[in-house]
Amino acid sequence: MARGPRKHLKRLNAPRHWNLGKMGGVWAPKPSAGPHKTRECLPVAIILRERLKYALTGKECQQICMERCVKVDGKVRTDFNYPAGFMDIIELEKSGDRFRLLYDTKGRFVLHRVDKDEAAFKLCRIQKVYMTSRKVPVAVTHDGRTLRYPDPNVKVNDTVKVSLATGKMSDTFKFEIGAMVMVTRGHNCGRVGQLMHLEKHDGSFSIVTIKDKKGNTFATRQSNVFVIGSADHPQVTLPKGRGIRKTIIQERAEAEARGDL
């Protein structure tokens, strides 16, 4: 029996949203232990090699990271398998690139380019609020941060705006009816809309109903929802499509109009 976690990941078992070709080799980058789960992250190696094309091989990804060229959330990361996740800021100082990791409407990670001002903060979902043994109030975020002495009004499922330079929270966006949300898991991953209704089921999953800009309504679990702003004002710029999913027929009609088909 092997002891400890597995150190390798077969390419066939890699998450689908990484978009790795199954004939491109046997192995895939195994994400290191970090703030995001294996199935909810994008390793730095895939960002450099598959998405940005700054490297051709895993060895080149390792060299780029060891030269301290890659920053995640303002900190240099030399591990080329470091797991970057939703809302993380990826910065490459030498090329001047700054990206925020978001989802497209098909549930795949997209590197959304941002300016210097927007790259200075990120949104964090509150997962847990508790009091330490030394009577210090603490809030834990979705990316593993521990915020000491948070605003007393902050509750679980709320979103806070965190400065990457100081690590302090500034604004709070409540999980309430009318809030602007993005779905981060499930069949509707990547869709953006307004929170319309919340059904609480004791002992089971609470269900929320969301309405997008086109008037389409859909439902998902409460745990899948991430507040990104209030009313129609998102705190971060949204990727292409602005979180509105189109049907296959609509996509085909637009492609024909552009002359792509």
225-249: pLDDT as tens digits: 999 988 778 888 888 877 788 888 8
- CATH number reported for the structural domain that contains residue 131 in this entry: 2.40.50.740
Q: Are 179 and 195 in contact (CB under 8 A)?
A: yes
189 and 221 both lie in a single domain: yes
Confidence of residue 1 (pLDDT cuts 50, 70, 90): low
Mean pLDDT for the stretch of residues 189-206? 89
193 and 167 both lie in a single domain: no
Asked if the structure places residue 38 within a domain, the reply is: yes
Is the torsion defined by CA of 56, 57, 58, 63 positive or negative?
A: negative
Asked if the structure places residue 55 within a domain, the reply is: yes
Q: Is 83 a residue whose pLDDT tops 90? A: yes
- CATH number reported for the structural domain that contains residue 57 in this entry: 3.10.290.10
Q: Is 69 a residue whose pLDDT tops 90? A: yes
Q: Is 140 a residue whose pLDDT tops 70? A: yes
How many domains would you assign to the chain? 3
Asked if the structure places residue 142 within a domain, the reply is: yes
CA distances from 114 to 25, 71, 120, 236, 239 (A): 33, 14, 10, 9, 10
- CATH number reported for the structural domain that contains residue 228 in this entry: 2.30.30.30
Asked if the structure places residue 148 within a domain, the reply is: yes
Asked if the structure places residue 248 within a domain, the reply is: no
Determine the 3-state secondary structure of 58 from DSSP: helix
CA separation for the pair 209, 194 (Å, rounded): 9
82 and 22 both lie in a single domain: yes
Asked if the structure places residue 31 within a domain, the reply is: yes
Confidence of residue 90 (pLDDT cuts 50, 70, 90): very high
Task: Specify the DSSP element, H or E, that contains 62.
Answer: helix 58-66
Whole-number pLDDT of residue 101: 93
What is the average pLDDT score of the chain? 90
Confidence of residue 61 (pLDDT cuts 50, 70, 90): very high
Whole-number pLDDT of residue 141: 92
Is the torsion defined by CA of 79, 66, 42, 118 positive or negative?
A: positive
CA separation for the pair 80, 130 (Å, rounded): 34
32 and 109 both lie in a single domain: yes
Asked if the structure places residue 241 within a domain, the reply is: no
Whole-number pLDDT of residue 57: 92
Which 8-state DSSP code applies to residue 211?
E
Mean pLDDT for the stretch of residues 27-44? 92
CA separation for the pair 128, 139 (Å, rounded): 6
**Domain span including residue 216:** 179-234
